[in-house]
Amino acid sequence: MVGMARGRFMDLQTLKRSATPSDRPASAAARSPRKPAEQARRGDPAAPFWQRKSLAQMSRKEWESLCDGCGRCCLVKLEDEDTGAIHFTDIACRLLETQTCRCSDYANRAQRVPDCVRLTPRRVQTIPWLPPTCAYRLVAEEKDLYDWHPLISGTPSSVHEAGISVRDRVACGEDDLPIENYVDRIVAWPARNGAAPKISKAGPHEPGGAPGAKSPRRPGS
């Protein structure tokens, strides 16, 4: 069975995918980052904090600054409850501001979206759907950040300029589409490295739905 993953797991009927979405190949701009130098990982005070500290050692300010602002984790995801496979969609959380790619009510997100997942150092180790470009995931894997990360580039616009963010890549918000149509919005690019393909909201959606998938049902129905 398939459930929605962003912390939520709504009961949906069986999803069987027979094809892989035909996304654009990953961009060379998002090649796997190098692991930090050994001396930096040992605590060299001259190294950037993300190289010399673990996630658990970071201050609140450092932790918050590690978010690159891509917005990929704020896309609705579907989980195949038979296999555990998780599929991204290009449907945005109701609180995601799709141009800035930031939460429109970050301080109150847990109250307004009860199933919003709050990242912690421990959860980063266990959550299977963090994008491969996610800085929290990279630090947990002892890898360095990408050159487009705002902490390296010095500007928050670099994540958009590199094509990593969801800007111009969101089809709709979760309240704008009937839940039974969510399976038609499955895409592969959020789970890949590299720039994401832009979409035309007026045109056909990106290939990569679930051919033959049964329509989902609402919880409790």
Establish if 216 belongs to a structural domain. no
Whether residue 209 lies inside any domain: the answer is no
Mean pLDDT over the full length of the chain: 78
Q: How high is the pLDDT of residue 200? A: 55
Return the percentage of the chain with pLDDT > 70, whole number.
71
Q: What is the mean pLDDT of residues 110-117?
A: 86
C-beta of residue 69 within 8 angstroms of C-beta of residue 165:
yes
pLDDT of 117 reads 86
* pLDDT mean over 159-169: 95
- The structure tokens 């290009």 sit at 90
Burial 59-91 (b: 16+ CB within 10 A, else e): eeeebebbbbbbbbbbbbbbbbbeeeebbbbbb
Length of the chain: 221
Percent of the chain clearing pLDDT 90 (strictly above): 57
pLDDT for 43 equals: 62
Does residue 57 carry a pLDDT above 90? yes
Structural domain contains residue 205:
no
Specify the higher pLDDT residue, 118 or 24. 118
Q: Residue 3: is its pLDDT beyond 70?
A: no
Would residue 219 count as lying in a domain? no
Token reading at 54: 């673990």
User: 108 is in which domain, residue-wise?
Assistant: 2-191
Select from 141, 121, 145, 119 the least CA-distant residue to 133. 145
pLDDT, tens digit, 9 for 90 and up, residues 172-219: 999 999 999 999 999 999 999 888 788 755 343 444 443 333 333 322
Task: Look at the chain and report how many structural domains it folds into.
Answer: 1
**pLDDT for 4-50, tens place per residue?**
444 333 434 333 332 333 343 344 445 556 666 555 555 688 899 99
Q: What pLDDT score does 9 carry?
A: 38
Residue 124 lies in a domain: yes
Rounded to 5 degrees, what are φ and ψ at 121? -55, -40
- pLDDT in the model for residue 196: 76
Question: What pLDDT does residue 32 have?
Answer: 54
